[in-house]
Amino acid sequence: MRVRPIKNESDYKMAMRRIEALWGAPLASPEGDELEILVTLAEAYERQHHPLDLPDPVEAIKFRLEQQGKDYRALIGIIGQRTRVYEVMRGARPLSLNMIRKLHRDLQIPAEVLIQAAREGSRRGARRARAPRARRSA
């Protein structure tokens, strides 16, 4: 077993090929130990060089509802009344701290996903700012 640090993409690809070859090795064997070390190194490299973005909060809520076979009506009482639910889900209103707590508790959506600001693409339904009207003189 000759394990080296993963310093670049070439090292990463070699480690991934070796991980594939070792996959399924018994845990208490030298091959299993090598596999465990390589997986740890590969995960560390991926975290540093290929970080995954957290999903948009509204998209995460939609996904969880879809997983559970529910629609927006399931959010009534968690987010608020029907109109509040639709405002949040179309991006016109941000999630409040109380909403985040209830969504985390009731739908088991990770709080770190819900805390972040909604992305611009999911705010399509948000109202556009209006230019101030000129005042009429009397």
Q: Which residues, in sequence order, are CB contacts of 26 under 8 Å at separation 6+?
A: 32
- Both 67 and 103 in a single domain? yes
- Both 66 and 32 in a single domain? no
- Both 69 and 114 in a single domain? yes
Assess whether pLDDT exceeds 90 at residue 124.
Answer: no
Assess whether pLDDT exceeds 60 at residue 28.
Answer: yes
- Both 69 and 103 in a single domain? yes
> Phi then psi for 6, rounded to 5 degrees?
-95, 110
Number of domains in the chain: 2
Assess whether pLDDT exceeds 50 at residue 19.
Answer: yes
pLDDT tens, position by position, 81-102: 999 999 999 999 999 999 999 9
81, 70 Cβ separation under 8 angstroms: no
pTM value surpassing 0.75? no
- Both 62 and 119 in a single domain? yes
The pLDDT value given to residue 52: 83
Confidence band for 72, pLDDT divided at 50, 70 and 90: very high
Structural domain includes residue 113: yes
Assess whether pLDDT exceeds 80 at residue 65.
Answer: yes
- Both 114 and 67 in a single domain? yes
Q: Which two tokens stand for residue 120?
A: 């611009």
The pLDDT value given to residue 120: 61
The pLDDT value given to residue 119: 64
